[in-house]
Chains A and B, each alone.
Chain A
Amino acid sequence: MDAHTPLLILQCVMGHEPVTFSPLQQTLMAHIAFFQYVWWGIWIATAMYLLSKLIRYKT
């Protein structure tokens, strides 16, 4: 966090604790594009699998 940039505290929030991220979260966020590709890959693979099952299905 930039020391010159203030915390913005909205009126509705209960506490005044700044948002922090765990080391695991920081690692995941540092490689977020990779993980997004992985999940989109699984999504597309699932869609393709379902589509191929549908096409091959004999009534």
Chain B
Amino acid sequence: MEQDPALPRNVLFTSPLEQHFLRFYRKFFSIGEIEGSTALKWSAGAFLFATFVSFYKWIGEHTITVDAYLSNDYTCWPYFMSCGKYYFLHALPEGYSQTTLYAAFFGLMLLIVYLMYKNDWVLAHMGILVLWLWKTAFVFLLTYTSSGNYDYYDIILLFVWLFVPYKLFFLQIVYALLYFLASTIKIDAGWIAGTYFTSLDTGLPIFGNFFAPIITNIVIFIQMVGSWFLLSGRRILQRAALGVFIFFHLYSGILVEYRYMSTTLPILIILFGLFYEKLPIPKDRRALVGWVVIALLCMLQLSRLLIVSPADQRMTLEGNRFGLYMFEANHQCVSHIIIYESGKLIKNVESQSAVAQSRCDPYKEWFAIQQLCLRIPGITSIVWQYDHSVNGGPFYRIVDEHNACQLSYTLWKHNPWIKLSSDKPRIMGYPVENIY
């Protein structure tokens, strides 16, 4: 395969130095594994499809544009709070640069498909690496919003495909692990009592609210325990688990529409359906990268427990995005800010959450307030009140500050200005049923 003179890379890059680099690249990223595995080749197609679906959404968004920065309509991660200063794109109608970039990415995707067709997996790998780098930078550097857990899935699974030796084995195990880790965020009243869904005006789809607590506990069980049967060597158990998860994703599509399904279902069917084979567990030095990735994923998922107790975590959302957070709670919130300039009230703003899935993250609000403090000349203080209801519970006033400009946000420990249940925050009201 490597010496095939018809491969595009052997036609385009003929000098000894280029050939030496291509051989090194192929070995370093274990691309021989992809060339020898139908499942890994099909996985590339699935990842390409998921990348296309994300970019299809991002091409028209203003999330990381110069205009978003200028209008203070952006949020950076707590570890890179100056991200807005690096925005360089203009989306339509302000400019063409963002659509130009994504048109180029589309061209790259077409080229990758051609390279896959020609069986040149070294150049195809390089192309997919470029897409992965942009996606990772977008999700983990350039914006705190506008991404979801499906993007985490894409980034993590594609990381394994790109960089990790024993690719197929670790793709299988990491995929099952993501279910297992996702089950930890369901160990809460929203899922144990099913209040996430019964707090919705439309209730739990198909099964109805009466069965909600039973269905939600079954989901916790299949994610926590059932996911590992996807790796079973016993055909009946393995196929049963596959069937359950295919149904689970189709069912969840009733709420989350196509986005999550397009990430999970193709790769699920490729890894555990069409091309499933039980693989031996690798334990040599080359496998170390994969095991380290698994250990890191577990540590990141559980890290939020060190910041704030599980009982308070849904309310403060501190550390929420360090791991998976899909459907962690049904949120409703009201944020009220009053801006004072030279001691005089100049603006009184109230904002509300839109839907259950919109995380009421005090950090996001705090970030916007800090930008106001920096940008409005002569500002003396901003009064900030933040009321948050979780899974149909009371609205608690979890932030009640006279000058939010003086607040700072800490990443790895609890921020004392966000009230915990032990601080006995005031109940401001009770919610009505909301929508997803």
Contacts and interface: CB of A to CB of B under 8 A. Distances in A.
Interface of A: 1-2, 5-19, 21-22, 24-25, 28-29, 32, 35-36, 39-40, 42-43, 46-47, 50, 54, 57, 59
B416 to A, nearest CB: 24
A52 to B, nearest CB: 13
B93 interface: no
B228 interface: yes
Contacts of A25: 193-195, 198, 212-213
Given A32-B192, A36-B192, A19 B433 contact: yes
16 contacts: A6-B429, A7-B429, A7-B430, A8-B430, A12-B352, A14-B201, A15-B432, A19-B198, A19-B432, A25-B212, A32-B193, A39-B220, A39-B224, A40-B187, A46-B180, A59-B280
B273 interface: no
Nearest to B221: A42
A24 B211 CA distance: 10
B213 A28 contact: yes
A28 B214 CA distance: 11
A42 B188 contact: no
Given A25-B193, A46-B224, A59-B280, 9 more contacts: A8-B395, A22-B198, A25-B212, A28-B213, A29-B193, A39-B224, A40-B187, A43-B180, A57-B281
B352 A10 contact: yes
Given A13-B432, A25-B213, A39-B220, A59 B187 contact: no
A12 B193 contact: no
Interface stretch (B114-122, B138-146, B386-394): B386-394
Interface in B155-213: 180, 183-184, 186-189, 192-195, 198-199, 201, 209-210, 212-213
Contact of B434 (A12, A29, A57): A12
B281 A54 contact: yes
Contacts of A24: 193, 213
Contacts of B392: 19, 21
A50 B198 CA distance: 34
A10 B353 contact: yes
A35 B90 CA distance: 50
Given A8-B334, A10-B352, A50 B432 contact: no
B209 A22 contact: yes
A16 B432 CA distance: 6
B435 interface: yes
Nearest to A14: B201
B433 A42 contact: no
Lowest 7 A-B CB distances belong to which pairs?
A: A19-B392, A8-B429, A28-B193, A25-B193, A39-B187, A10-B352, A6-B429
B433 A17 contact: yes
A19 B389 CA distance: 11
Contact of B283 (A7, A19, A35, A57): A57
Interface in B206-246: 209-210, 212-213, 220-221, 224-225, 228
A28 B389 CA distance: 19
A32 B115 CA distance: 54
User: Interface centre among A2, A6, A8, by most B CB within 10 Å?
Assistant: A8
A11 B194 CA distance: 24
A50 B228 contact: yes
A40 B311 CA distance: 13
B427 interface: yes
A35 B195 CA distance: 14
User: Interface centre among A21, A35, A54, by most B CB within 10 Å?
Assistant: A21
Nearest to B287: A59
Contacts of B221: 42
B210 A13 contact: no
Contact of B431 (A8, A39, A47, A50): A8
A43 B193 contact: no
Contacts of B75: none
Contacts of B32: none
A35 B199 CA distance: 20
Given A12-B355, A17-B433, A21-B193, A43 B387 contact: no
Contacts of B430: 1, 5-8, 18-19
A40 B180 CA distance: 12
